[in-house]
Amino acid sequence: MRKQIVIVGAGFAGMWAALSAARLADKHQQAIDITVIAPQPELRVRPRFYEKDVQTLVAPLQPLFDVTGVKFLPGTVEQILPGCKQISWKEASGETHQCRYDRLILASGSQINRGSVAGAAEYAFDLDRLESAVRLEQHLKSLSDQAESEARNTVVVCGGGFTGIEMALELPGRLREILGHDAKTRVVVVERGAEPGGRWSKALREVIGEASAELGVEWLVNAEVESVNASGVTLKDGRTLASQTVIWTVGVQANGLTTQIDAPRDRQGRLHVTTELQVVGHPEIYATGDVAYAATDDKGNHALMTCQHAILLGKFAGNNAAASLLDIAPLPYRQEMYVTCLDLGAWGAVYTEGWDQQVKLTREEAKKLKMSIVSELIYPPKAEKAVAFEIADPLAPFV
Ligand SMILES: Cc1cc2nc3c(=O)[nH]c(=O)nc-3n(C[C@H](O)[C@H](O)[C@H](O)COP(=O)(O)OP(=O)(O)OC[C@H]3O[C@@H](n4cnc5c(N)ncnc54)[C@H](O)[C@@H]3O)c2cc1C
């Protein structure tokens, strides 16, 4: 019987896992069935969801899968049964199917968790999914139909992590486009930490502070959201912010399928993996991208929930799953280099290198780099087998 690799998810990690597994099988002229199961055969470019025209931020994958011999099944995986090496998945029509695997690659990503904050699920927007980012964009556009008020003109961004910062610093320009240059708009970031970007290097913090001040983005630090309702936000210290637009950006958790595998997980729910990216205690299951808690080096650093890590994790997971079926030595996952490129709206951007975030580029220079990363580097390769396989090699140059 032909060996089966089943990949759950067609995001950055899942797409590259499929291409990398197909590459190795092709190189060794061995037939392995490689199947991707995900709701749509498209890459949704999540890092760009703070931009406008969100609906366009998807890239088709079917032509790429067709030329590389990857089978795609449209649906959602509901159950993982490691004991009998099976999964069950459901089509959009509601029909359910079982599928056997020899190797499973879990690449089902992550999602935002609003925790127990009262009203956050009902009243706050988010940028986590294409659908929710589209909803936010439509809402922002509709503000121009509303009567002028403090609540209409104020956007509250809950959380000052990378996603919160990119969204917040984009907003002054967007609000001016929508509400006109004379509107008294206000963008407020609510942050639990003691200063903007407090968890990053001093140099990066200074850039974030400078860009926020220049664009007029306010930070409420040492502040936590108690509740959200239709009128705005109440903070734990009792202060209120009147706002029709509250955007939730914190509390990202690994996809829930991880809980179906009996293995150690980190506090974000990511599965602990070996250097070959096998889930600890389950050698036939690989975890990759946002569901994997993987060491990037021997210095104690671990992959973050970023595209940068998901892309390379995907390539290693696909390669190693195929290698294990072909009796080839696996490649230990290593990703020593870590960079950050943060969009800072009309101010420009900032590019840092290293885990200690040394600032290398700012303003326009960094913005150009950011644009090339998010509009070229992270997109799928051309639908040509040779091109795709060359880039799918885990050892090909990357960042
Ligand atoms: C607003 C925002 C901004 C970001 N900015 C940046 C940035 O600037 N730089 C950066 O590096 N990273 C950024 N990230 C993080 C980055 O997008 C993620 O780390 C990356 O998408 C992870 O890739 P992944 O393949 O693990 O998961 P995803 O890209 O989320 O893909 C998961 C896939 O699994 C599928 N799936 C989920 N559940 C199931 C199921 N049950 N059955 C079948 N399929 C399933 C999904 O449909 C999808 O195809 C940002 C994320 C967000 C939301």
Query: What DSSP letter does each residue of 18-64 carry, written as one string?
Result: HHHHHHHHHHTT--EEEEEEESSSEEE-GGGTTSS-GGG-EEE-HHH
Tell me the best of 43, 307, 311 to mutate to test the pocket of ligand 1, counting ligand atoms within 8 Å of each CB and taking the most. Answer: 307
Q: Is 150 helix (H, G, I), strand (E, B) or coil?
A: helix
Q: What's the CA-to-centroid distance between 153 and ligand 1, angstroms?
A: 31
Dihedral of alpha carbons 52, 41, 259, 199, sign: negative
Overall fold of domain 120-248: FAD/NAD(P)-binding domain (3.50.50)
* Under 8 Å between Cβ of 96 and 88: yes
Residues with CB under 6 A from ligand 1: 8-14, 37-39, 46-47, 49-50, 76-77, 107-109, 127-128, 162-163, 255, 257, 289-290, 305-308, 310
Task: Report the pLDDT value the prediction gives residue 114, as an integer from 0 to 100.
Answer: 85
Closest C-alpha to ligand 1, atom 3: 47
Q: What is the DSSP letter of 55?
A: G
- Largest distance between two CA atoms of the chain: 69
Q: What's the CA-to-centroid distance between 314 and ligand 1, angstroms?
A: 12
Please give the C-alpha separations between residue 246 and each of 139, 152, 238, in angstroms, as whole numbers.
11, 11, 17
CA–CA gap between residue 333 and residue 358 (Å, rounded): 24
Number of the ligand 1 atom closest to the C-alpha atom of 257: 41
Where, residue-wise, is CATH 3.50.50.60 in the chain?
3-112+252-336+386-392, 120-248
Tell me the best of 169, 250, 290, 291 to mutate to test the pocket of ligand 1, counting ligand atoms within 8 Å of each CB and taking the most. Answer: 290
Q: Is 127 helix (H, G, I), strand (E, B) or coil?
A: coil
* Under 8 Å between Cβ of 24 and 322: yes
Tens of pLDDT, residue by residue over 248-294, are 999 999 999 999 999 999 999 999 999 999 999 999 999 999 999 99
| Backbone φ and ψ of 194, nearest 5° | -85, -15
Spans of the chain below 50 pLDDT: none
CA–CA gap between residue 293 and residue 270 (Å, rounded): 5
Number of the ligand 1 atom closest to the C-alpha atom of 48: 3
CA–CA gap between residue 168 and residue 151 (Å, rounded): 16
Please tell me the CATH code under which domain 3-112+252-336+386-392 is placed.
3.50.50.60
Q: Return the number of other C-beta atoms located less than 10 Å from residue 29's C-beta.
A: 6
Task: Report the pLDDT value the prediction gives residue 115, as an integer from 0 to 100.
Answer: 78
Task: Report the pLDDT value the prediction gives residue 399, as an integer from 0 to 100.
Answer: 66
Q: What's the CA-to-centroid distance between 111 and ligand 1, angstroms?
A: 8
CA–CA gap between residue 49 and residue 51 (Å, rounded): 5
**Residues 6 or more apart in contact with residue 223 via CB below 8 angstroms:** 190, 191, 192, 235, 236, 237, 239
CA 307 to chain centre: 6
Task: Report the pLDDT value the prediction gives residue 380, as an integer from 0 to 100.
Answer: 97
Helix, strand, coil shares of the chain, percent, nearest 5, are 35, 30, 35
Nearest-CA neighbor of 11 among 49, 53, 50?
49
